Amino acid sequence: MKFKTLLFIVLLFLPVYAEAGENREIERTIENLDKTKNLISELNKNLELCTAQCAIKDDLKKFQAELKKDLNNIKLKELSAKNNYISTQLKQLFKDISTQVNSIASNPETIKALKEFSIGWDEMKVNQSARLQKLYISENPYRIGQKEKYDGASNNQSNYTYNDTHLKYHPLFRDFILANKYYDFLLIDLDGNIIYSVFKELDFATNIFGNKLSSPLLQEGINELKNNYPAKKSILIDIHPYPASSNAPMGYFAVPLEQENKLIGFLAVGLPIDKIDRLLQPNDDYNHNEYIYALGEKDRELKAGHKYLINKSMYPEFSIIADQKSLMNSDFGERIWPNQEGKPSLISYRNFRFDNINWYIMIQLSEEDFNQEICKYDSLSNLLEFCTASTD
């Protein structure tokens, strides 16, 4: 009886327990669904954040590229303005040279010197070159590079009228050269003989025509003055390697010398190469990665800025731009262009013309210096690095 009663009770409450179990399972399922929903929501938020960071990174990259382009343009305009300034100063320098040389050419003392040197030259009759080079070069007590310090032999050491003339005029012409930083001062007779020189290079007392030590450009310049006298009043002879001076760069400003409207000879004054080179680098605190130099328009030879080649240890990165003809297809411009080593450089070029001189003034900023400009924006670089790391 008791067993039947217990069985009846179990059967009576079994559906209730079953229904309660099903409810608890449903509740757990709902809880899991809520957790999943929350997880998905969180993932969506992270995805949105990640997408935003990626967008920021892309925007920063675009901004940096635009900033680099803007800095390029700003720097190119700066180089162009500097180029224009240098060209103006260089033109003024050549005008000053013209004024000074024409002034001393018209000085009666210069005319008298030419005539007296010519008399001394003619008195020797033969072997003038050998005799004068022996007296003023070989027997000159001063070392090479300082021959201009020698005024000449004392009167009791030389029977030459030429030497007396040298003692008289050499200090005057030497002072003029040194005061104005010119390289040399040549008096040339109508036959092309260099009858006087301040610095006594190896072409002193030789004839400029047919002499292997003479400059072909000097020959052409003197010929042009002679053949076009009196219309041609002066000529600017371009800078070029000068054979008589170990192919050092040399140029001349030459003028005819006349007396009573008659041509009697020529004066050729060596251009102040160092002064021209310094003018191409006007700042004392210049950046070693910025190079300013002049190239010939036709021959593309280096005309000024020789310190970069002479002091290669100080300017190891100097390399003239490549494919210059393609670059310089107009009178002036700015652009990014490779140098001869293939490294991109910011370039400003401007055509410079004065008399016979036809150059391109070049300002070249190395890639290294350009990168230094970009690196000034360290905070931008750091932010970009952070955003990149955050999305990896």
- Report d(CA 265, CA 261) in Å as an integer: 12
CATH number at residue 365: 3.30.450
55-98 pLDDT tens trace: 666 666 676 667 677 777 888 888 899 999 999 999 999 999 99
Instruction: Pick the more confident residue, 131 or 299.
Output: 131
Domain boundary among 246, 272, 298: 272
Measured CA to CA in angstroms, residue 291 lies from 60, 142, 278, 280, 345 at distances of 33, 36, 12, 9, 10
333-353 pLDDT tens trace: 888 888 767 778 888 999 999
> Hey, how many other C-beta atoms are within 10 angstroms of the C-beta on 47?
10
Burial-class residue 283 by CB neighbours within 10 Å (0-12, 13-18, 19+).
Answer: exposed
Q: Looking at the structure, tell me whether residues 227 and 329 fall in a common domain.
A: no
**Residue 35 pLDDT:** 65
Task: Answer yes or no: are the C-beta atoms of 203 and 196 closer than 8 Å.
Answer: no
23-67 pLDDT tens trace: 566 666 666 656 666 766 666 666 666 666 566 666 666 766 676
Instruction: Pick the more confident residue, 391 or 62.
Output: 62
CATH number at residue 127: 3.30.450.20
Q: Looking at the structure, tell me whether residues 110 and 212 fall in a common domain.
A: yes
Q: Is residue 87 part of a domain?
A: yes
Domain boundary among 272, 300, 315: 272
Flag whether the pTM goes above 0.85: no
Q: Is residue 37 part of a domain?
A: no
Q: Looking at the structure, tell me whether residues 242 and 358 fall in a common domain.
A: no
**Residue 193 pLDDT:** 97
Q: Is residue 5 part of a domain?
A: no
- Report d(CA 71, CA 94) in Å as an integer: 34
Tell which residue, 213, 192, 190, 219, has the closest CA to residue 201: 213
For strand 262-270 and strand 290-296, is the pairing parallel, antiparallel, or unpaired? unpaired
Q: Write out the two tokens for 191.
A: 């036959």
Q: Looking at the structure, tell me whether residues 286 and 247 fall in a common domain.
A: no
Q: Write out the two tokens for 364.
A: 């070249």
Q: Looking at the structure, tell me whether residues 194 and 237 fall in a common domain.
A: yes
pLDDT of 167 higher than 90: yes
Domain count, the chain: 2
Q: Looking at the structure, tell me whether residues 264 and 119 fall in a common domain.
A: yes
Which residue matches tokens 């700042």?
283
SS3 content of the chain, % helix, strand, coil (to 5): 55, 20, 25
| Residue 236 dihedral angles phi and psi, to the nearest 5° | -100, 115
Q: Looking at the structure, tell me whether residues 285 and 266 fall in a common domain.
A: no
Q: b/e map of 65-78 (b: 16 or more CB within 10 Å)?
A: eeeeeebbeebbee
Q: Looking at the structure, tell me whether residues 202 and 233 fall in a common domain.
A: yes
3 state DSSP class of 235: strand
User: For the sheet containing 185-188, what is the strand order?
Assistant: 194-197, 185-188, 262-270, 248-259, 235-242
Q: Is residue 383 part of a domain?
A: no
Q: Write out the two tokens for 224.
A: 């042009």
3 state DSSP class of 224: helix
What one-letter code names the amino acid at 262?
Answer: K
Domain boundary among 248, 272, 296: 272
Task: Estimate the crossing angle of helix 2-105 against helix 378-390, to 10 degrees.
Answer: 150
Q: Looking at the structure, tell me whether residues 147 and 245 fall in a common domain.
A: yes
Q: Is residue 186 part of a domain?
A: yes
pLDDT of 386 higher than 50: no
Q: Looking at the structure, tell me whether residues 164 and 213 fall in a common domain.
A: yes
Q: Is residue 13 part of a domain?
A: no
- DSSP states along 181-222: T-S-EEEE-TT-BEEEESS--TTTTSBSSS-TTS-HHHHHHH
Q: Is residue 214 part of a domain?
A: yes
Q: Looking at the structure, tell me whether residues 114 and 262 fall in a common domain.
A: yes
Q: Looking at the structure, tell me whether residues 251 and 326 fall in a common domain.
A: no
**Residue 139 pLDDT:** 92
3 state DSSP class of 344: strand
Q: Is residue 121 part of a domain?
A: yes
258-303 pLDDT tens trace: 999 999 999 999 999 999 988 887 564 545 567 888 988 888 888 8
Residue 187: which domain range? 106-272
